[in-house]
A and B are shown apart, each in its own frame.
Chain A
Amino acid sequence: EADIYQTPRYLVIGTGKKITLECSQTMGHDKMYWYQQDPGMELHLIHYSYGVNSTEKGDLSSESTVSRIRTEHFPLTLESARPSHTSQYLCASSESGAGSTDTQYFGPGTRLTVL
């Protein structure tokens, strides 16, 4: 399995709380991604980064924010969690540069439940 980690794996939290989902990778990949996935459904890109200090919004609008201060770390933050944020969040990374094949390596995911 790939060297990409997410914590926590499961989180149950009340409405209005601020949460940060952690993602880190040890492969030195420049590109990192956050996806949102409802159970049994397709993945939707919500944020991506091409390197340190680079962040972009994905195709699915999200109230979350991300930061990329270090290559290996790409945390996602929700300032005020709501029940509509209940979902699984998957982090991924891929290499860049010549010879890159766009293959993404995924973390185990964080399953978030907002009550």
Chain B
Amino acid sequence: AQTVTQSQPEMSVQEAETVTLSCTYDTSESDYYLFWYKQPPSRQMILVIRQEAYKQQNATENRFSVNFQKAAKSFSLKISDSQLGDAAMYFCALSFYNQGGKLIFGQGTELSVKP
């Protein structure tokens, strides 16, 4: 079975500090994409960052970066210099090449940012 697991239901970080959200997944496929999506309260879900499984280099987008460990099937998200606007539900997701783009989501981690 292909699954995505986020073991931290809630996380908290002080403004300007760094926080890491964990995600593990299980699949026997070798070609896939991994995503982190952000869902702010009552607002639209948006893409934070994407990683292609064939790329060894970790993806980065400004203050957001990932630690992709393919052998360990781990895909954590690091948020540096946390801002109040980073408070949201964060979902890790997985999709497979040539399987229509369907996403498998984790359970989500609710991140709060303290001023």
Residues of A with Cβ closer than 8 Å to B? 1-2, 31, 33, 40-45, 48, 50, 58, 90, 92, 94, 96, 100-109
Contact = CB atoms under 8 A, between A and B. Distances in A.
A40 B108 contact: yes
- Per DSSP, chain B at the interface is strand
Interface string B40-53: 00011111001010
B43 A108 contact: yes
B45 A90 contact: yes
Contact of A106 (B33, B45, B95, B100): B45
Give the contact-size bracket for chain B. 20 to 34
Given A100-B101, A101-B33, A101-B50, A42 B108 contact: yes
Contacts of B108: 40-42
B89 to A, nearest CB: 7
Contacts, number: 55
A90 B100 CA distance: 18
Contacts of B102: 33, 45, 48, 58
B15 interface: no
13 contacts: A1-B46, A42-B108, A43-B91, A45-B102, A48-B100, A92-B45, A100-B101, A101-B50, A102-B103, A103-B35, A103-B47, A104-B103, A109-B44
B101 A106 contact: no
Nearest to A39: B89
Given A31-B100, A43-B103, A102-B101, 18 more contacts: A2-B46, A33-B102, A33-B103, A40-B89, A40-B110, A41-B107, A41-B108, A42-B107, A58-B102, A94-B101, A101-B52, A102-B33, A103-B35, A103-B47, A103-B50, A104-B103, A108-B43, A108-B44
A58 B37 CA distance: 20
- Per DSSP, chain A at the interface is loop
Contact of A50 (B44, B100, B107): B100
B101 A107 contact: no
B101 A96 contact: yes
Nearest to B92: A42
